[in-house]
Structure 1
Amino acid sequence: MTIRVPIEETPFRLTFGTEAIIPVEVGLTSFRVKTYEDQKNQQERNSNLNLIDEVKEEAMKRMAKHKEAMARYYNRKVRVRRFNTRDLVLRKVSQGTMDSSQGKLGPA
């Protein structure tokens, strides 16, 4: 029910094509509950369902844009390291790969 930052929509709206109303809002006299009309609500619901594909496309575009921004941020922070042949590197050692004479700094 909360708007997600990457898609700027609620998952409920993307799934069901309409905004949800929380139980607390039903119990209280809110504007949405007070102005509810069955026929008008059905027309709006049909309209929302007709437009849901466009809403989903926009959400996908926003999500791709957010993902690109996150990748740019990450790539700005990465330090490029170049390794040459025969360089010693720290590697993950398991029982199957461990050579007792060279240990974790041995050639791979």
Structure 2
Amino acid sequence: MSTLVHPRANGQAESNNKIMVNNIKKRIDKKKGRRTEELPFILWGDMTTSKVPTGQAPYSLVFGTEAVIPTEVVIPTARYFLQNQENNDRILLQDLDTIGKSRDLSKIHIAAHQQRITKAYN
């Protein structure tokens, strides 16, 4: 029986978290002497990069839209430069309408990924 405090799991979440933390540690270790300045950029990069199991970035699954990276604000790209407030609001509303579909696709992607992993280990 599982509880809210200690849900049953197959250990996959813990394993993925360890991998993510180890990857972040490796990137931080490369930035010796500038760790505190680089940490926000490393974490932002991790949150906005698509992951293999879901096929999407964690940021887009939570907020329903792609993130604008800080570089696009400093050096505007076409995607950033051509946006205006009205257009942006319309797109955000569309993204909110489709976030459920996006999350459902991620669940399907996760199930397929789990089947591939199971097949590889069995």
TM over 0.5: yes
Structure with greater contact order relative to length (CA < 8 Å, sep ≥ 6): 1
Q: CA deviation at 1:24?
A: 1.2
Matching of residues 6-85 of structure 1 within 5 Å: 6-75=53-122
Instruction: Give the TM-score, by structure 1 length.
Output: 0.67
Q: What letter is aligned with 1:23?
A: P
Shift, 1:22, TM fit: 1.0
* 1:60-86 C-alpha deviation (Å, 9 max, x unpaired): 0100110011000000xxxxxxxxxxx
Q: Give distance in 2, aligned partners of 1:74 and 1:3.
A: 24
Structure 1 unaligned spans of 5+: 76-108
The CA RMSD over aligned residues, in Å, is 0.7
Give aligned pairs, total.
Answer: 75
Q: Please tell me the residue identity of whatever aligns with 1:57.
A: D
Which is helix-richer, 1 or 2? 2
For structure 2, which runs of at least 5 residues remain unmatched after alignment?
1-47
Q: CA deviation at 1:39?
A: 0.3
How high is the TM-score relative to the length of structure 2? Answer: 0.60
Distance 2:94 2:80 in 1: 20
Distance, in Å, in 1 between the alignment partners of 2:57 and 2:100 is: 15
- Rg larger in structure: 1
